[in-house]
Amino acid sequence: MSQLLTRLIERVRADYLVLMEQDDGRHPYTTAEKICNERLYLSADELAPIIAEDPTLLAARRGNLIASESERGNPSVGMIISANIAAAMMEGLVDVALDHGWLTVDGDGRLMLNADELKLPEPLAANVDYSVSETARENLLLPGESRLTRVMNSAESAFVERLGDEPLDAYSLALQIASEYSLFAPDDIAPLVEENPLLLGLRGDGMVDEEMFEGDPPAGMIVSAHLTQMVVSQLLELAVERGVLGSDSSGHPLPPGDDSAGPLIH
């Protein structure tokens, strides 16, 4: 586990204990929900270094963990990961409450809340704007190629080199090379997220094969799909510039023999 995340979890647990002791053990479940919502839905710049330390967080899926109505249908990568962190912390705080006798379970192992706590309103769902990142802005000003630019340039070089030698048409070759340069492993994606936390604002947007992931793709796969689409778009634009692929009246690349289809990402 990320050391940054470990320290954060320890602080949240300690603060929960203080709050519960100050309140004489009242409202243990609601207090746990509130502190998780307030402390564990992290900003892009807070979450990115945690992912860099623990890329397995990119395997997180939304499940039924997204409380925010505005995010639930098509949550951002950052929201998916934060919701999973908060859910795990919530389980830990419930265990703390059970150990201290602040919460109890019935004969079936279900949590029992007293009537006073049941009357309380649910804590507000967390919302985070993942379109803001000071880290991304600062890194943009650094000299040299970014990691993402390096991937894009490598794919472009391979495309140009093979354009005249491959039996494939330019469109099919672009898809093939984009696939070859796709990043799927969390260990490969995490450094890009660390460099540009704005990637945490990406959403599924129907880009990932629904059947393959049963409509709930891992957060890292959402990033991968967008990165692959970026490579495809760049290679197709290059093909149009070189006159080996047609374009519509707006200059958008056209697949051979099809004036409407676009590249599909699986």
Quote the longest CA-to-CA distance of the chain: 76
> Domain residues of the chain, as ranges?
3-118, 137-241
Consecutive H or E run containing 105: strand 104-105
| Residue 42 in this model has a pLDDT that exceeds 90 | yes
Cα 47–9–128 angle (5° rounding)? 35
Residue 187, class by beta-carbon neighbours within 10 Å (0-12 exposed, 13-18 middle, 19+ buried)? exposed
Whether residue 94 contacts residue 6, with contact meaning beta carbons closer than 8 Å, is answered with no
- The CA distance from 217 to 196, in Å, is 21
> pLDDT (tens digit, 9 = 90+) per residue, 85-101?
999 999 999 999 999 99
> pLDDT (tens digit, 9 = 90+) per residue, 198-244?
999 999 998 888 778 888 999 999 999 999 999 999 999 999 999 88
Which residues is 112 bridged to in the sheet? Answer: 104
Segment 140-168 shows an average pLDDT of 91
Residue 263 CA neighbour count, 13 Å, CB half? 26
- The CA distance from 8 to 194, in Å, is 18
**pLDDT band at 254, cuts 50/70/90?**
confident
Whether residue 103 contacts residue 97, with contact meaning beta carbons closer than 8 Å, is answered with yes
- The CA distance from 94 to 234, in Å, is 49
Give backbone dihedrals phi and psi of 239, rounded to 5 degrees, phi first: -65, -40
CB neighbourhood size of 49 (10 A):
18
